[in-house]
């Protein structure tokens, strides 16, 4: 098995023999690959994921499939996404050290990455459904977003390097195209692959008939598709975060592209809001307390983002944007400029947040927070709160000026009945 | 001479022998290259430009130099800009047919383009200084901007093709870097290569000490550097347009990049405003009438841009942005969405306009409209009006909502004394 071999998907049966000579594997799992155990655990929408265990240690082997796993081979998807995932993981490790799994081996031809096995970490979304808290979640996510946003932009990077990187990622076409259609367009008309809870029909109708709403969403799509401010994770939700009680990692960045600074922040906030709105179906007595904790994570995420971004602005502003030569070197304070940029990022984030809240109930890829509620009658009123608040976030973006306004709005919607 | 030969700058003496076998030349100029006449006419800042004449016809030979001609070989500049100029001319010819010179031959290794000789066209800036009118100027420029903006965006292009093109142009780093520093940053502090009329010192001081102004300019720099909405010409001023009394061509797109839709529109508007403010030094009795004509060109440019963009929106919206599936197919009118996008483009254009008005008096590359006024005492009050209006355009962008507001503002500043 060499890198030049033609691509072939692994199976639990073929994996040990095919990867049995890789130093990245043998040093961790032992030389005798016949003694390895292999479990396929991919529960995402796109890839094969194997946990390969030796006597002392385990590794993750992630391999792209040439189609969308959720849909099947009728929806082909290029293998080069593993290349972009590798690019993104490398950059995230530089820009936000310690936040992503370590890479042990990358094989471009096999669209395969061997990486750190996180244990006992589980997908954060599952913890949120179970009602488990993660200490420091908001601080971690806020810092991850701030560091990758700042250090992937021309506030920090030299322009030639940043532009070259935009060129590299401009080849990642098919994966962002999924976001462009599933997130920004399909929810707003009766697209073929859509599905939604039929009890939501009146709410869905009010969304799809709102021309101003659709205009604003398309404006955000134009920003998403055209604005290369920084390298975004591109799919940052609670299913792309793994956590223990007090340690977190960000995974699965194959949707990475250069995009708007507010994108990741908006997506992740939306996913916490959906966790929040779904809680009445998952919790008993501890509902209020756990919902309060989720809102606190959102508040801490947004607060930490600002604080960390501001620190980097003061300490690491080495790129061509807002250069110190124009401000500090002239005795001119640049803190207002930083605040205004943060305010613009927040506004974008709130609009992206509303859009993500819509697509997860209306488009193809729903999330478990709501989907695990089997009874549609029980699920509909919670989804409706989510959809209605998403609508207000899109239509009234500028008025949600900070996390306090956002949280007050969430609490208000959490009391209301729409279906 | 083959394409693989090492780059060597042409001279009028060596050109006929070196290019004498090119069919692109011989079919137009005749086989006997010893009978050709060659004149070097490059009056720009960057390149060699030759008019090569045969018995019946002439062609332009444009060759990049490996440094900035205006400054000398102390400022190296890559030859690959000829490649990007060729890319840009090709795309402009497709997107706005008939607006750019025809290309006869491109030699990447020699950084050389053989193209249509425009005669009796002269540089529009010279006509403006001489007081000559060009029928249809505003309509031509407005259409050029609208067609290249619309057809180079994901309103029209398929996303994969547009993203691949962004990747191609992401290699054009050093040329946009000139704009980034000379236009957006250098004017706002005492940068090494700057120069300005010393009589303007108080005005310059008020500009450079205005922190909010600098913040807004840097925000526009971030848009310029990050926002790949469409392929912009990148240097669209009256020196990049050639004209007779009634026919116009756009030339010199080596600054092309994917950038914000409002950029070209703002730059070209600024250059007409500078022509306007400089007129009192160039005209006699016919001053009012000619200044009125210049303002009319600005009004027609902005009006035509909107009208043509709106027509393309209705007739050619085939890209993923604002898809008809979301609007017209649902019986939903999208004209408000088009108007709002045009309003956003206009706002950007007004800010870019103010910035261009500044840099042409404060940074390295001044323009002849003002520079041809030899007496600094006569020049200063006219430059000051231009600088002050630029400041208001940047600080008060949103209030200049259309061409009528802009023209009223220009007329007002044209009456005022600042130095």
DSSP secondary structure letters along B357-398:
HHHHHHSS---HHHHT---HHHHHHHHHHHHHHHHHHHHTGG
Contact (CB, 8 A) for B114 and B245 = no
A347 touches chain B (CB under 8 A): no
Whether B159 and A167 lie within 8 Å, measured CB to CB: no
Q: Chain A, 6-45: which have a CB under 8 Å from a chain B CB?
A: none
Residue A5 has pLDDT above 80, yes or no: no
Cα–Cα distance, A190 to A147 (Å, whole number): 38
Residue B85 contacts A, CB cutoff 8 Å: no
pLDDT band for position B3 (cuts 50, 70, 90)? very low
B310 pLDDT above the threshold of 90: yes
Give the pair of three-digit tokens for residue B107: 């030699």
Residue A222: half-sphere exposure toward Cβ, Cα within 13 Å? 27
Burial of B9 (0-12, 13-18, 19+ CB in 10 A): middle
Q: In this predicted model, what pLDDT tens digit does every residue of A286-313 receive, in sequence order?
A: 999 999 999 999 999 999 999 999 999 9
- Give B44's pLDDT tier (boundaries 50, 70, 90): low
User: Is residue A44 very low, low, confident or very high in pLDDT (cuts 50, 70, 90)?
Assistant: low
Complex-level ipTM beyond the 0.90 threshold? yes
Using a pLDDT cut of 70, give the percent of chain A over it: 99
* CB-CB contact of A43 with A56 (8 Å): no
Q: How far apart are CA B335 and CA B203, in angstroms?
A: 42
pLDDT tens digits for range A107-166 = 999 999 999 999 999 999 999 999 999 999 999 999 999 999 999 999 999 999 999 999
CB contacts of B187 in chain A (<8 Å) are none
pLDDT at B142 (0 to 100): 98
Q: Are A397 and A219 in contact (CB under 8 A)?
A: no
Residue whose tokens read 């922190």: B211
- A264: Cβ contacts below 8 Å, ≥ 6 apart: A145, A148, A149, A232, A233, A234, A236
Reference A278, options A267, A265, A287; nearest CA is A287
In the predicted model, what is the mean pLDDT of residues B81-110?
97
Fold of A15-116: Phosphorylase Kinase; domain 1 (3.30.200)
pLDDT at A244 over 90: yes
Which residues on chain B are in Cβ contact (under 8 Å) with A185? 320, 323, 325-326
Taking CA atoms, A358 is separated from A208, A299, B1, in Å, by 11, 21, 62
Structure tokens at A355: 């859009």
Q: Would the pLDDT of A45 be above 80?
A: no
B336-387 pLDDT, tens per residue? 999 999 999 999 999 999 999 999 999 999 999 999 999 999 999 999 999 9
Q: Is the pTM of this model over 0.90?
A: yes
Give yes or no for A333 touching B (CB within 8 A). yes
What totals of helices (H) and strands (E) does chain A contain, helices first? 15, 12
CA-based nearest distance A346→chain B, Å = 15
DSSP A204-253: HHHHHT-HHHHHHHHHHHHHHHHB-SEEE-S--SGGGEEE-SS-EEE---
What letters, b where the CB count within 10 A reaches 16 and e where it falls short, cover A128-159?
Answer: bbebebbebbbbbbbbbbbbbbbbbbbbbbeb
Q: With 90 as the cut, is the pLDDT of residue B46 above it? A: no
Which of A87, A161, A215, A336 to substitute to test the interface with B, most B CBs within 10 Å?
A215
What's the CATH fold of domain B122-413? Aminoglycoside 3'-phosphotransferase; Chain: A, domain 2 (3.90.1200)
What lies within 8 Å, CB to CB, of A203 at 6+ separation is A384, A387, A388, A418, A419
Give the per-residue pLDDT at A82. Answer: 95
The residue extents of the domains of chain B are 15-116, 122-413
- Across the beta sheet with A241-243, what order do the strands follow? A122-123, A241-243, A248-250
Q: Among A64-78, A85-99, A133-147, which is the least confidently predicted range?
A: A64-78
> How far apart, in whole angstroms, are the C-alpha atoms of residue B358 and residue B351?
11
Mean pLDDT of B48-68: 95
Does the CB of B320 have a partner CB in chain A at under 8 Å? yes
Q: Is A166 on the interface with B (CB under 8 A)?
A: yes
Judge whether A181 is closer than 8 Å to chain B, CB to CB: yes
């Amino acid at each position: 098995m060499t890198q030049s071999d033609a691509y072939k998907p692994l199976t639990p049966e073929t994996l040990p023999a095919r990867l049995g000579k890789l130093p990245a594997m043998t040093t961790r799992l032992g030389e005798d690959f016949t003694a390895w155990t292999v479990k396929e655990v991919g529960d995402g929408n796109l890839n094969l994921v194997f946990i390969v265990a030796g006597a002392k240690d385990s590794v993750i082997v992630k391999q792209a499939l040439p189609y969308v796993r959720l849909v099947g081979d009728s929806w082909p998807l290029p293998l080069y996404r593993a290349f972009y995932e590798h690019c993104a993981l490398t950059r995230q490790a530089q820009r936000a050290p310690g936040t992503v799994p370590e890479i042990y081996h990358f094989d471009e031809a096999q669209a395969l990455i061997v990486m750190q096995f996180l244990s006992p970490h589980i997908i954060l979304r599952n913890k949120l459904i179970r009602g488990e808290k993660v200490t420091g979640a908001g601080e971690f996510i806020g810092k991850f977003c701030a560091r990758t946003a700042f250090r992937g932009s021309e506030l920090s990077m030299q322009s030639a390097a940043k532009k070259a990187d935009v060129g590299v990622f401009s080849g990642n076409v098919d994966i962002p195209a999924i976001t462009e259609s599933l997130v920004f367009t399909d929810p707003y008309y009766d697209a073929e692959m859509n599905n939604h809870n039929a009890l939501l029909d009146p709410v869905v109708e009010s969304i799809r008939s709102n021309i101003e709403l659709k205009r604003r969403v398309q404006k955000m799509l134009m920003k998403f598709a055209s604005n290369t401010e920084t390298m975004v994770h591109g799919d940052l939700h609670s299913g792309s975060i793994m956590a223990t009680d007090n340690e977190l990692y960000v995974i699965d960045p194959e949707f990475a592209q250069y995009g708007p600074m507010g994108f990741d922040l908006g997506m992740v906030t939306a996913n916490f809001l959906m966790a929040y709105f779904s809680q009445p179906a998952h919790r008993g007595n501890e509902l209020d307390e756990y919902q309060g904790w989720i809102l606190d994570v959102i508040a801490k995420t947004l607060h930490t983002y600002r604080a960390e971004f501001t620190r980097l602005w003061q300490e690491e502003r080495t790129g061509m944007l807002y250069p110190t030569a124009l401000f500090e070197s002239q005795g001119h304070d640049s803190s207002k400029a930083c605040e205004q940029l943060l305010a613009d990022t927040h506004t974008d984030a709130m609009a992206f947040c509303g859009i993500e809240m819509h697509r997860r109930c209306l488009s193809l890829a729903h999330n478990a927070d709501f989907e695990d509620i089997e009874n549609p009658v029980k699920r509909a009123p919670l989804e409706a709160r989510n959809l209605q608040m998403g609508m207000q976030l899109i239509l009234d973006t500028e008025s949600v000026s900070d996390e306090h306004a956002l949280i007050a709005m969430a609490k208000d919607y959490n009391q209301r009945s729409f279906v």
